[in-house]
């Protein structure tokens, strides 16, 4: 019976386990995933921002959706206009219940005229099948059969060009193309979860280790480093990217309405195609929110360093900065009244600022609003002043070039 509850290993486990010095492991979608390869996060974080970082993202749920009505199904279950998605193009999107509240988020890649790949954080096979009733479509889960790597950082393109059969110089932002790597067929998408220049490499699980080895060999001169999910966590906050079960709760997992979030509230208004024809799940609720505005929004918060410093100086200490992103709810106040909360906060090494993803009530989510973040100083609750800002916090100029 114990085998039923064991965490799965990704196809790269033989390589990642050998490199994981502190044995720092985390759970991710039923898999065991590396939290960090070193005792600290500095080398992995700076590989993302200065060089190239190789991240095992195989635990992502992956679904192949095929058939004459494949586009119709995805047009029904997501607010994006899938009919406009070109072959080789990738959409990022959330998807909702009938009340317009987020169930999950991920990517949709058009592999062919009648073929798509959907990635998600949570299992979605049952939900897809329920919405596919009456449609000519075949849905196949490929999570265990497909391995995936994320290669992120300003040197990622140079690394790929050294080891791929075809250069990736012409691969545009949010586009995908087939390639050959280590004499294995792969597809490479210019996507990622760090807000930097980056790519994701998709392959059969049987080809995982040769592809990993080829990338590490090719990246040696560029400072490539294996990177765990903790350093990636810091980078994704800088990029203003949220995480399921951390920054929002899936509508199906929420206990009360206040725990649910809409795409508009999470900053995904740009993904909602209210001009596309026909019905899609959550359309009426989203149309109403577009007219009336959102009661809440997720925005950025930059904490004033001098204000933070004063709070610690009052007890004779220098500021105490967490060594990794804090996935925890921290109250946010305006004039002493709580108006929201931070869901993830972190020190940003590249910006030299303490930042947070915060959820604020209207009208306090407007950029420039002065608020304060609750912190603990020597076991006492204190409030560090800060300013509401638009997301992302950080977006390098080479990200889209």
User: How high is the pLDDT of residue 6?
Assistant: 84
DSSP bridge pairs for 394: none
Distance CA 244, CA 5 (A): 22
pLDDT at 4: 45
C-alpha atoms less than 13 angstroms from C-alpha of 223 in its C-beta half-sphere: 14
Give yes or no for a contact between 331 and 381, defined as CB atoms under 8 angstroms apart: no
Residues 6+ apart with CB under 8 A from 100: 262, 263, 282, 283, 284, 285, 286, 288, 289
Cis peptide before 279 (omega within 30 of 0): no
Give the other-Cβ count within 10 Å of 21's Cβ: 10
pLDDT of 343:
98
Contacts 24+ apart (CB under 8 A), 257-260: 260/99, 260/101, 260/102
**Between vectors from CA 31 to CA 29 and to CA 33, what angle results, nearest 5°?**
105
- Residue length of the chain: 401
DSSP strand pairing (8-9 vs 31-36): parallel
CA-closest candidate to residue 211, choices 12, 10, 9: 12
Instruction: Please give the helix or strand (H or E) that residue 290 lies within, else none.
Output: helix 283-292
Burial of 272-302, coded b for 16+ CB within 10 Å and e otherwise, reads: bbeeeeeebbbbebbeebeeeebebbbbbbb
Hey, which residues does 204 pair with through a beta bridge? 146
Q: Residue 33's pLDDT is what?
A: 97
Please tell me the predicted confidence (pLDDT) of residue 5: 60
Cα gap 56→227, rounded to integer Å: 8
**Is there a contact between 107 and 65 (Cβ–Cβ < 8 Å)?**
no
Helix, strand or coil, per DSSP, at residue 19: helix
Q: How far, in Å, CA of 215 to CA of 21, rounded?
A: 20
Rounded Cα distance between 236 and 193, Å, is 6
List, in sequence order, every residue forming a beta bridge with 110; answer none if it has no partner.
116
Residues of the chain with pLDDT under 70: 1-5
């Amino acid at each position: 019976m114990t085998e039923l509850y064991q965490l799965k290993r990704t196809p790269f486990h033989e390589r990642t386990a050998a490199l994981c010095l502190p044995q720092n492991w985390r759970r991710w979608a039923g898999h065991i995933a590396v939290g960090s390869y070193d005792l600290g996060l500095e080398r992995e974080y700076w590989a993302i921002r200065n060089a190239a970082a190789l991240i095992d993202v195989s635990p992502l749920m992956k679904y192949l959706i095929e058939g004459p009505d494949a586009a119709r199904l995805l047009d029904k279950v997501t607010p994006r206009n899938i009919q406009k998605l070109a072959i080789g193009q990738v959409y990022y999107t959330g998807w909702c219940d009938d009340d317009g509240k987020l169930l999950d988020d991920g990517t949709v890649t058009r592999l062919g005229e009648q073929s798509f790949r959907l990635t998600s954080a949570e299992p979605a096979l049952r939900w897809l099948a329920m919405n596919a009733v009456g449609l000519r479509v075949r849905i196949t889960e490929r999570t265990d059969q497909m391995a995936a790597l994320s290669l992120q950082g300003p040197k990622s393109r140079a690394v790929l060009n050294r080891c791929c059969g075809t250069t990736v110089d012409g691969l545009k932002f949010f586009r995908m193309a087939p390639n050959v790597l280590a004499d294995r067929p792969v597809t490479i998408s210019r996507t990622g979860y760090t807000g930097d220049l980056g790519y994701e490499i998709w392959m059969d699980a049987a080809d995982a280790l040769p592809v990993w080895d080829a990338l590490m060999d090719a990246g040696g001169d560029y400072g490539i480093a294996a990177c765990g999910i903790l350093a990636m966590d810091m980078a994704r906050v800088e990029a203003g990217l949220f995480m399921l079960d951390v920054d929002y709760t899936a509508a199906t997992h929420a206990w009360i309405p206040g725990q649910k979030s809409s795409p508009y509230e999470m900053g995904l208004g740009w993904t909602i195609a209210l001009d596309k024809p026909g019905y899609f799940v959550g359309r009426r609720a989203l149309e109403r929110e577009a007219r009336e505005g959102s009661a809440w929004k997720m925005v950025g918060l930059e904490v004033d360093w001098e204000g933070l410093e004063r709070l610690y100086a009052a007890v004779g200490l220098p500021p105490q900065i967490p060594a990794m992103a804090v996935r925890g709810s921290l109250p946010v106040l305006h004039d002493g009244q709580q108006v929201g909360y931070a869901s993830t906060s972190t020190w940003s090494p590249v910006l030299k600022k303490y930042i947070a993803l915060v959820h604020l009530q209207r009208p306090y989510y407007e950029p420039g609003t002065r608020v304060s973040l609750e912190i603990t100083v020597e076991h006492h609750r204190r409030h560090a002043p800060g300013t509401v800002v638009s997301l992302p916090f950080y977006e390098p100029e080479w990200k889209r070039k």
